[in-house]
Chains A and B, each alone.
Chain A
Amino acid sequence: MLFLLFQLGNDRYALDTGQVTEVLPLVRLKQIPQAPPAVAGVFDFRGEPVPVVDLSQMALGRPAHCRLSTRIILAHYPDTNGEQRLLGLIAERVTETIRRDPSDFVTTGVDLDAASYLGPVASDARGLIQRVEVDQLLTSAVRDLLFKQPVAS
């Protein structure tokens, strides 16, 4: 399986590329007033508004650095009705992919309710890589905020 690597702080995390549609450079986002801080905004993706969540803000409490290696990962996200929608994820150091067997990832034994998106870990020469599950990323409050209203097609 192919995984897309990114960083939160100094640690590396992996997303299943099957859930990723595209990796985009940073773009200018339209802010959403009064939204939770993790919601970075909305941008126009080929004529369709796509909400963007800043993973650094969500997990570390600080916005992602504005660098060339900080990118928007466009992922499939199932909304409350089970329909696949697009969700943008701002992540740092999105520069690498790795090919690993899913069985290389073993559970950490640490299960945080607040961070249920964190999955099992695998190790390589540079340390541990933790899997991140896109489906679990948003709290129900944020998910309802971003995906409750049906988008007019």
Chain B
Amino acid sequence: MSKPSATALDASRPTINDCWNGIGVRGDSSCPELKKYIHCRNCPVYATAAVDLLDAELPADHLAHWTSHVAQAKPLVEIDRQAVVVFRIGDEWLALPSILFKEIANPGVIHAVPHRRNGVALGLANIRGELLACVSLREVLSLQAAKEGKRDNHHAAGERFMVIQRDGNRLVCPVDEVHGILRFHRRQQIPVPATLAKATATYTLALLPWQQESSVGLLDDQLLFYTLNRSLA
């Protein structure tokens, strides 16, 4: 490696005793201090040399560079991001904040509970030995079942139980398919069209752009849990 040519800048620098290149770890390691410090970077001589380097005169463009640098606004880190789990009920793709999710389980048997058949409360499901209330999002959101032609074995294989929790209430929601996690910035949210008069619209906070032309309805988890808990009471 060729050394850079000495400039006026280099000349103004204080001379530095680079003992680490001679008797230190980059030289022949004969320095007696090495027994104590193991490596030159732990040695005060090395640290003092670094401080001495900072005692150099300012480089030519230093002032101008830093004056314009500190005048610029600090770039804001985008922290306003949210992660949601995208799932499907019937033909509708919906999303809930991923923070609610405890588990995506394979569908199991739903045990019917006598006198609790109001449509929303489906019964009890066994999730890892724990009996949890099973609720129908389809019923709450008044969604239609997928068209008959679609309900073949291939689609049934996508069915899952979503275990979601909010304020200590854990519920199981059977869905037709779980796509996965979608991350988006708050700016990307599209307001729900005012003309949408379906029950889904009541529970939808915003629409999220997804897979080119389509969009996902982001559900209002607070309102949804309120309704679900009411229907279980």
What is A's interface to B at a CB cutoff of 8 Å? Answer: 24-28, 43-47, 66-69, 93, 95-96
Least CB distance, A33 to chain B, in whole angstroms: 19
Contact A47 B71 (CB under 8 A): yes
In the assembly, what is the distance between CA of A66 and CA of B74, in Å?
Answer: 26
Q: Inside 8 A of B64's CB, which chain A residues have their CB?
A: 28
The docked-state distance in angstroms from the alpha carbon of A44 to that of B54 is 24
Query: Is B45 among interface residues, defined by CB-CB distance under 8 A?
Result: no
Decide yes or no whether B226 CB sits under 8 A from chain A. no
B interface, size bucket: 10 to 19
Instruction: Write out the residue numbers on chain B whose beta carbons fall within 8 Å of the beta carbon of A25.
Output: 62, 66
Q: List 19 A-B contacts (CB under 8 A).
A: A26-B58, A26-B63, A28-B63, A28-B64, A44-B67, A44-B70, A45-B71, A46-B70, A46-B72, A46-B74, A47-B73, A66-B57, A67-B55, A68-B53, A68-B54, A68-B55, A69-B55, A93-B54, A96-B51
Do A27 and B70 touch across chains, with their CB atoms under 8 A apart?
yes
Q: Which residue of B lies closest to A27 (CB)?
A: B67
Given A67-B57, A69-B55, A95-B54, A45 and B70 touching (CB < 8 A)? yes
Bound CA–CA A21/B73 (angstroms): 15
Q: Is B113 interfacial (CB-CB < 8 Å)?
A: no
Minimum CB–CB distance for A21 against chain B, Å: 12
Q: Does B104 sit within 8 A of A, measured CB to CB?
A: no
List the A residue with the shortest CB-CB distance to B71. A44
Whether, in the assembled complex, B83 has its beta carbon less than 8 Å from a beta carbon of chain A, the answer is no
Q: Which residues of A contact B72 (CB under 8 A)?
A: 46
Q: How far is the CA of A47 from the CA of B63 in the complex (A)?
A: 17
Cα A28 to Cα B67 in complex, Å, equals: 6
- The 6 A-B residue pairs with the shortest CB-CB distance, nearest first, are A69-B54, A44-B71, A27-B67, A28-B67, A25-B66, A28-B63
CA distance A103 to B66 in the complex (A): 38
Does B56 reach chain A (CB closer than 8 Å)? yes
Tell me which of B57, B66, B67, B71 contacts A46 (CB under 8 A).
B71
